[in-house]
Amino acid sequence: MRNRPENHLFYGDNLAVLRKEIADESVDLIYLDPPFNSNANYGILFKEPDGKSSNAQIEAFEDTWHWNDTAEDAFDQVARSGNTKAFDLLNAMRGFLGDNDMMAYLAMMAVRLLELHRVLKPTGSLYLHCDPTASHYLKLLLDAIFGKRQIANEIIWCYRRYTAASNRFQRLHDTLLFYGKTDQRRFNDIRIPYGETSGKKDSHYRQDDDGRWFRWQKRKNAEPYRIYLADGVRLGDWWDIPIINASSKERLGYPTQKPSALLERIIAASSNEGDVVLDPFCGCGTAVHAAEKLKRQWIGIDVTHLAISLIEKRMKDAFPAVTFTVEGTPKDLASACDLALRDKYQFQWWAVSMVDALPFGGRKKGADGGIDGLIYFNDHDPVSGKMVTHRAIVSVKGGLNPDTAMVETLAATIAREKAPIGILIMNAKPTREMERRAAAVGIYRAGVDETFPKLQILTLADLFQGKRPRIPNVDRAAFRRAAREATAHQPNLL
């Protein structure tokens, strides 16, 4: 196990990563936005280069839990953890709830909260983001693991949105459970500026030449003196911060994306420059983005290649000079083959990201129609002469046995979709007959004299050697890009 103060992204189950890679008392701040057990499926939304909604919606994760062998094992691990309070509480919850979906979720969370407590420094803090689905149960678990005296705040994050009418009030807030590991938790007094009319409502207050509010204090037989207001309003535990809506410039298409302002406030309050921030459910990476912006070091963990590849692009777009490592993703042919055997869909998403394609389809059998990814490119239409956008199709095959049917299937998909180019990514080396049939599909002519094979075959070995598809004028507009961040020092006042 190593102490990792540098910036790292880990692909994998956060429980395994925490145990193997994160040392005891090495993290200053933990923010986690775990699944809420909402019994919903969440998809990443991509868009066409023209800005229209795309069919390329990928199911990011299924927020549904079931009592099974995995849940039983998590429950058993808590029993063997040595934390009797945590197990006694979890066991009591099981007696009350039974072996159902909620209990499976709580067992999964309990074993991970024990590890998060272990890696947190004595001066560290944890913010757990949740909603009314399970917030009351999670607060009890945190009381058992951190100690009931260590809760600093239950923060209410309020936002505005409009939902369909129902037989209840609109739900317009989430909850942040803020705990310290000890009484020595680090905390910075964050203040927000007074509004433009603050002080003006009280005729006693004036502004000086620097814009600071003051009032005159009279005293007997002497000149009055100035009493200044503090530099802003102290934050309370009720935060009004807008959500990421459809028109937000921050929006990257990830279903549970949180606003940067929310994470910047948390990080500014409970860490200092150079501190280590950990997000074990990092999703699209807002926490690590905010940590980099505020000059913290960071560690992000996620269990899907979709999230990891999205964060890689986000960080490089926002911070071109950022340095970080990505661990757990295939780095050689053997690890890629291993992933193909372990998880077909994670392998497909990883392979698609290697050629900078937009993922397509999902986990449902037959849902993708033979398409695993899309690469958009621009070229002149030979009839109208106008510049138009085309789609190159990407198909991923992780099997070890080459088969001419792979080529024939992609050729049929190219014809059906009227796609100019198709890319076949294979684990195995293609046979000569496969190469002959691929060549027989023909060529695509771009511009005046450029030609490209209509069906191109790339192996995993090719990808690791840096070989990529031959496609003209690739259009990157389908990928939502994070705005480039300024590199100047960020103020502490948020």
pLDDT of residue 88: 97
Torsion 77-82-84-89 (CA) sign: negative
Interacting residues of 194 by C-beta distance below 8 A, sequence separation 6+: 213, 229, 232, 233
What residue segments make up the domains of the chain, in order of their start? 8-189+236-327, 192-233, 333-478
CA-CA distance, 53 to 45, in Å (whole number)? 8
Q: What pLDDT does residue 208 have?
A: 86
The secondary structure of residue 246, as a DSSP letter, is T
Which CATH fold would you assign to the domain 8-189+236-327? Rossmann fold (3.40.50)
Instruction: Tell me whether residue 82 is exposed, middle or buried, using C-beta atoms within 10 angstroms of its C-beta: 0 to 12, 13 to 18, 19 or more.
Output: exposed
Token pair listed for 321:
């000079």
Task: Give the residues of the chain that fall short of pLDDT 70.
Answer: 1-5, 36-64, 165, 194-203, 230-231, 361-369, 448, 477-480, 487-494
**pLDDT, position 233:** 74
Would you say the C-alpha torsion 327, 58, 138, 84 has a positive or negative sign?
negative
Residue length of the chain: 494
The tokens for 175 are 């909850």
* C-alpha span between 312 and 289 (Å, rounded): 10
Tell me 474's DSSP state.
B
For residues 56 and 376, give the distance between their C-alpha atoms in angstroms, rounded to a whole number: 12
Amino acid at 312: E
3-state helix vs strand vs coil in the chain, percent to 5: 30, 25, 40
For residue 453, give the 3-state DSSP assignment: strand
What token pair was written down for 219?
């005293």
The pLDDT, as a whole number, for residue 17 is: 96
- What is the distance between the alpha carbons of residues 332 and 344, in angstroms, rounded to a whole number? 17
Q: Which residues contact 144 (CB under 8 A, 6 or more apart)?
A: 83, 85, 86, 88, 89, 90
CATH level 3 topology of 333-478 = Trna Endonuclease; Chain: A, domain 1 (3.40.1350)
Q: For residue 458, what are its two tokens?
A: 């790339």
Euclidean distance between CA atoms 335 and 96, whole angstroms: 44
pLDDT reported for residue 486: 73
The structure's pTM equals: 0.83
* Alpha-carbon Rg for the chain in angstroms: 27
Tokens 């199911």 locate to 59
- What is the distance, to the nearest Å, from the Cα of residue 183 to the centroid of all Cα atoms in its chain? 31
Can you list the pairs that 230-236 forms with residues at least 24 positions away whose Cβ atoms lie under 8 Å? Answer: 230/191, 231/191, 231/493, 232/191, 232/192, 232/193, 232/194, 232/493, 233/191, 233/192, 233/193, 233/194, 234/189, 234/191, 235/190, 235/191, 235/192, 235/265, 235/269
Choose among 318, 295, 299, 320: nearest CA to 492. 295
Whether 324 contacts 315, CB under 8 Å: yes
Q: Distance between CA 287 and CA 277 in Å, rounded?
A: 8
